[in-house]
């Protein structure tokens, strides 16, 4: 059972890492969302790529991102039916 849990977590983190790399490539290529990221007028294009982007978000922005990730972890990315064919089967 512990091995299955470790496999499940590894698959989940691997998928998140692949999305992060895709996001990095996309923003380096110059594709950005249109409009503003916050009410103070900061545009998506004003946010740099990589580690330097961490310093451009306010504490409210960080709280919103952490809350969203928490909702995904607790309610969305899990085997709801209990009938997953393999570890990491998130077909709800």
Average pLDDT per block of 10 residues along the chain, 92 residues long: 82 89 91 90 89 88 92 78 68 59
Q: What is the DSSP letter of 62?
A: H
* pTM of the shown model: 0.66
Q: How far apart are CA 16 and CA 57, in angstroms?
A: 21
> What pLDDT does residue 87 have?
67
In this structure, the dihedral spanned by the alpha carbons of residues 39, 58, 61 and 59, taken in order and rounded to 10 degrees, is -130
* CB-CB contact of 32 with 44 (8 Å): yes
């Amino acid at each position: 059972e512990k091995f299955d849990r470790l496999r499940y977590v590894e698959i989940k983190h691997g998928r998140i890492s692949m999305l992060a790399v895709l996001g990095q490539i996309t923003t380096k290529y110059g594709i950005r969302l249109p409009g503003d990221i916050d009410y103070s007028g900061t545009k998506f294009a004003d946010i740099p790529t990589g580690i330097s982007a961490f310093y451009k978000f306010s504490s409210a922005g960080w709280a919103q991102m952490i809350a969203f990730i928490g909702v995904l972890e607790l309610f969305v990315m899990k085997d709801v039916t209990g009938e997953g064919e393999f570890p990491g089967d998130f077909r709800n």
